[in-house]
Structure 1
Amino acid sequence: MQEYSIIGSGPAGAAAAYMLSKNGYKVKVYEANKRLAMKPCGLGIPSVKDLPIKIQKQYIVQTINGVTMYVDDVIVLDKENFLEGYILDKENFLESLIIESGSELIKNSGFNPLKNSIKENGNIKEINSAIIAGGFAFYSGEKINAIQTIVSSKSLEGLKKLIIFFDTDIVGYYWIFPAGDEIEVGVGGYRNVEELTKLLNKFIENNEYLRGSKVISPIKGAEIAVGGVNLDFDYKFPKIGEAAGFVLPLTGEGIRPSLISGFEIANAMINGYDIKNHLSKLKITNSIKIQRKILERVKSMDRERRKELLSSMPAEVHAEVALGGMSKLKIIKALASRPDLALKLMNYMGD
């Protein structure tokens, strides 16, 4: 039986372990922390249509059916009953995915990429075949900072949509996501953690949705890989998930792209496909590539031009871009009355 080591138990590592184990491989998943899902994130999967793995009901904290989106406090998208998304119990979902597949999960086991060695039950051993799914720490491209906290808010009880405020100054956004009886509030963008912390506190204090809310957890943060997919592996072993840049750069959504990448690297290995070639042709890889081009163009603009571009997009375009669909046909149809804007976006999207 062929054995594989997977470094990291996030969405990508868990999906790869699930797929490989179900197809007869012996898999060990190594997690550096004592618990899974330690990275603070919004826990949102805004669309589950292209997920390769079904999420069981017990791991769904909240269903999501809509989005309200602002650009510098001007509403640009407000749709309900057009999404099928979830807020996820990420820790328990990932652990069940690994263990129930028959993979072995080993926690508190750090990986040394310089020596290709792993700590297992107090002993250091060299590994010969592995998949790197260790998240942003293994990503060599551009990253931004993101922080979040948890608040309680009676006015937002029963919230079933995502609320997003794009900020053209920081080229990022604030988010308000439902999480069962609580609300996750955060911000990510091109600022350091200290500046983001000040901005988040100000946002919580002044935002109309959050009036009367109470902060109930410390602010936590992490980096987010926004530089796009990088399949030129700089380690001996292939990388997937956020370690390879499987994150939508404009929204920071990483759970869904990482699950897909983990599933597909296993698919490539099982069927003898070239890994880089297979991953490069995925629809999600193309969506990330296009979003990265748009992000680069938006960053190069001054603030007024950013605001003009983002504010002038029809709601259907915002929805298509935010979900990573990036269908040129849908975008062209939505921009039928704005050929100038359609041409700009097509140029950003490239081939």
Structure 2
Amino acid sequence: MFDCIIVGAGPAGASAAYQLAQKQHSVLVIDKAAFPRNKSCGGGVSPAIAKLFDFDFAPVIERTVSKVKYTWKMDDPMEIQLRNISPMWMVQRDKFDNFLIDRAKEKGVEFKDNLEVTGIELQGDSWQVSTSNGNFSAKYLIAADGANSKVAEWLGYAAAQKVPAASLEVSGEVSDRRSDMAFFDFGSLKNGFMWCFPKADGYTFSAAFVRDRQGKPEELKQQLNNYAAKFDLDTSNAEYREHEINLWQEDRPLHSERALIIGEAAGIVDPLIGEGIRPAMFTGVAAAEAIDKALAGDAEALAQYSETIKQEWSSDLGKAQFLANIFYKAPKLAYKLGLKRSSAGQLMGRILCGELTYSEVAAIATKKLRFIPGLG
């Protein structure tokens, strides 16, 4: 019997596994995909995650970004040189996720990929986890299986209302001018936005309907190709992938009997700009700390995990949702009076790099935008 079984080997699951194994606990991680695997994601990572771990992420950082360019309908640009920040990391998710799970395996984590979990059952003081190739048991269970988490559903959580998203991977030469710049476009997608991050040998273009659960994927594909054309890139061999994002919607308990949910399975994803990797890894680390305490006899440890996430992330993501509601009521005016101003662009860039929270900037943004007609 394992101390903990983690279903899902993305950044959340791998982070939890690494931290638990470092505390000398036996851990099994199960993922239905064969690793390394492609993952539809922009691949921007806040350098703030470095303080959560004791190893160097340099091997999987392809570029760093210290500039941001905002546009409205691919025009009306505003370029920002971010000041006094640690540049944001650019990664490829197949390499990044595989790197994380490899670090966990070095600590003793057992990893079974290409294996689907088919059911879970709590029997007394242990979880029985059924898979397509055998059953496993553990004292505790972590659901880290992403936006469409089956484990969270089996634990009794209602299915989340997700939003459509997509990414377009385009190979090509990255000019010196673009190599350290992130791009964000607003207005091309109604109730959504697009972004582009440079990688070692090309770009990742991404898009999401962050305020429209009925958005059409075909529009995402068309607008992403239009966006790539603005970069004079040949998209004939580009790789296009669609997925869904489980954005934060409301605060809720993230624990049940001897089980926790983390990362996107828990909906801990920024509802304004779709950032998910940093909060996923934070929840993974917090979950490992909670289960370590629970294994030591702390009966309140799992409930404290829910409270920790509420205090550290849910309150801030609530502010992000508040700002998203303001922005998307009148996006053109909000763009001109918000992001088009250098000071606001700096604030958003610092959020991306993990050096500011929404709670710290919400009051400022509200003061700037409150006189927009219709917003109050």
Provide TM-score, normalisation by structure 1: 0.83
Are 2:273 and 1:262 equivalent residues in the alignment?
A: no
Q: CA deviation at 1:64?
A: 2.0
1:168 and 1:307 in contact (8 A); partners too: no
Report what 1:74 is aligned to. Answer: 76
1:316 and 1:331 in contact (8 A); partners too: no
Cα deviation per residue 1:160-219 (whole Å; 9 max; x = unaligned)?
1211112264222222211101211222223221221122222223x2xx1144443321
1:295 to 321, 324, 328: 324
Q: CA deviation at 1:286?
A: 2.5
Amino acid of the residue matched to residue 95 of structure 1? I
Report what 1:100 is aligned to. Answer: 106
Relative distance call for 1:23 and 1:122 in structure 2 (3 A) is same
Cα deviation per residue 1:44-63 (whole Å; 9 max; x = unaligned)?
11442675125422121222
Taking the aligned partners of 1:149 and 1:2, their CA distance within structure 2 comes to: 39
Cα deviation per residue 1:239-297 (whole Å; 9 max; x = unaligned)?
10000011111111111110011001112232343221122111x33322211222234
Report what 1:3 is aligned to. Answer: 3
Are 2:346 and 1:315 equivalent residues in the alignment?
A: no
Cα deviation per residue 1:62-99 (whole Å; 9 max; x = unaligned)?
22222212233323452245442211231332222321
2:162 to 125, 143, 146: 143
Report what 2:45 is aligned to. Answer: 45
1:187 to 181, 186, 207: 207
Relative distance call for 1:212 and 1:112 in structure 2 (3 A) is closer
Are 2:124 and 1:131 equivalent residues in the alignment?
A: no
Taking the aligned partners of 1:29 and 1:230, their CA distance within structure 2 comes to: 27
2:196 and 2:203 in contact (8 A); partners too: yes
1:46 and 1:85 in contact (8 A); partners too: yes
Taking the aligned partners of 1:178 and 1:62, their CA distance within structure 2 comes to: 7
Q: CA deviation at 1:155?
A: 5.6
2:117 and 2:132 in contact (8 A); partners too: no
Are 2:89 and 1:86 equivalent residues in the alignment?
A: yes
2:254 and 2:305 in contact (8 A); partners too: no
2:307 to 277, 280, 289: 277
More off after superposition, 216-225 vs 247-256: 216-225
Relative distance call for 1:38 and 1:137 in structure 2 (3 A) is farther
More off after superposition, 107-116 vs 216-225: 107-116
SS at match of 1:253: coil
Taking the aligned partners of 1:32 and 1:121, their CA distance within structure 2 comes to: 10
Amino acid of the residue matched to residue 292 of structure 2? I
Identity %: 21
SS at match of 2:248: coil
Taking the aligned partners of 2:343 and 2:232, their CA distance within structure 1 comes to: 30
Cα deviation per residue 1:129-187 (whole Å; 9 max; x = unaligned)?
20000010127333211111222333635611211112264222222211101211222
More off after superposition, 132-141 vs 316-325: 316-325
Amino acid of the residue matched to residue 133 of structure 1? A
Amino acid of the residue matched to residue 226 of structure 1? L
Report what 2:34 is aligned to. Answer: 34
Report what 2:252 is aligned to. Answer: 231
Taking the aligned partners of 1:5 and 1:298, their CA distance within structure 2 comes to: 41
Taking the aligned partners of 1:127 and 1:328, their CA distance within structure 2 comes to: 38
1:43 and 1:87 in contact (8 A); partners too: yes
Matches of residues 180-219 of structure 1 in structure 2 within 5 Å? 180-189=200-209, 190=212, 191-205=215-229, 207=230, 210-219=231-240
Are 2:191 and 1:171 equivalent residues in the alignment?
A: yes
Amino acid of the residue matched to residue 147 of structure 2? F
Relative distance call for 1:80 and 1:298 in structure 2 (3 A) is closer
2:165 and 2:206 in contact (8 A); partners too: yes
Q: Mark the runs of 5 or more structure 1 residues left unpaired by the alignment.
A: none
Taking the aligned partners of 1:148 and 1:164, their CA distance within structure 2 comes to: 14
2:320 and 2:358 in contact (8 A); partners too: no
Taking the aligned partners of 2:49 and 2:34, their CA distance within structure 1 comes to: 32
Q: CA deviation at 1:307?
A: 1.5
Cα deviation per residue 1:303-334 (whole Å; 9 max; x = unaligned)?
xx2211232013333443453633555565x6
Amino acid of the residue matched to residue 109 of structure 2? S
Q: How many aligned residue pairs are there? A: 335
SS at match of 1:136: coil
Report what 1:241 is aligned to. Answer: 263
